[in-house]
């Protein structure tokens, strides 16, 4: 008996379901998202137990992807310079200009606009820590 491999690429679950539905009854279908291994195995006999309905497999696959996606960490917040400027002004207002200059000095700059963008998050954390101090 020959074995064949069928790879289906689809832009939507509806298209995928339609394609798989057309194969149901003609072959045993195994769904594997992003698989590089065969996903179709021919039935050996007509008496073999029918495969799990295609719709159930698609639903299971989507549910698994949703669980994996929800378990992923949220994307980090985007920090804009306006956040840096606002935090600096708030620090100056509450703790005074020397407190702000001391934190800027830790980053080897004299003014907030000279902070490199990759240091903004770290700077905001330092400002928050200073603001939380009594």
Report the percentage of the chain scoring pLDDT > 70: 53
> Measured on CA atoms in the order 110, 116, 117, 122, is the torsion positive or negative?
negative
* Cα 91 to Cα 97: distance, rounded to the nearest angstrom: 8
Q: What are the backbone dihedrals phi and psi of residue 24, each rounded to the nearest 5 degrees, phi first?
A: -60, 135
Question: What is the model's pLDDT at position 11?
Answer: 72
Q: Which position has the token pair 């001391």?
A: 102
**Which of residues 26 and 60 earns the better pLDDT score?**
60
The pLDDT of 10-19, averaged and rounded, is 70
> Tokens 């069928």, residue?
6
Indicate whether 72 pLDDT > 90. no
Residue 129 per-residue DSSP state = H
Question: Rounded to two decimals, what is the model's pTM?
Answer: 0.45
Give yes or no for residue 111 having a pLDDT over 90: yes
pLDDT confidence of residue 18: 72
**What pLDDT score was predicted for residue 81?**
93
pLDDT of residue 82: 93
Q: Which residues contact 34 (CB under 8 A, 6 or more apart)?
A: none
- The predicted-structure confidence for 75-100, as pLDDT tens digits, reads as follows 667 899 999 999 999 999 999 999 99
Is residue 104 a contact partner of residue 112, using CB atoms and an 8 Å limit?
Answer: yes
């Amino acid at each position: 008996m020959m074995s064949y491999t069928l790879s289906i690429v689809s832009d939507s679950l509806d298209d995928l379901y339609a394609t798989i539905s057309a194969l149901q009854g003609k072959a045993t279908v195994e769904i594997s998202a992003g698989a590089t291994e065969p996903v179709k195995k021919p039935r050996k006999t007509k008496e073999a137990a029918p495969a799990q309905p295609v719709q159930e497999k698609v639903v299971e696959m989507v549910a698994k992807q949703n669980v994996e996606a929800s378990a992923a960490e949220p994307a980090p917040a985007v920090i804009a310079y306006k956040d840096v400027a606002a935090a600096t002004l708030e620090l100056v207002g509450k703790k005074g200009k020397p407190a702000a200059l001391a934190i800027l000095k830790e980053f080897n700059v004299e003014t907030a606009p000279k902070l490199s963008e990759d240091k903004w998050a770290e700077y905001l954390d330092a400002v928050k820590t200073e603001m939380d101090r009594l």
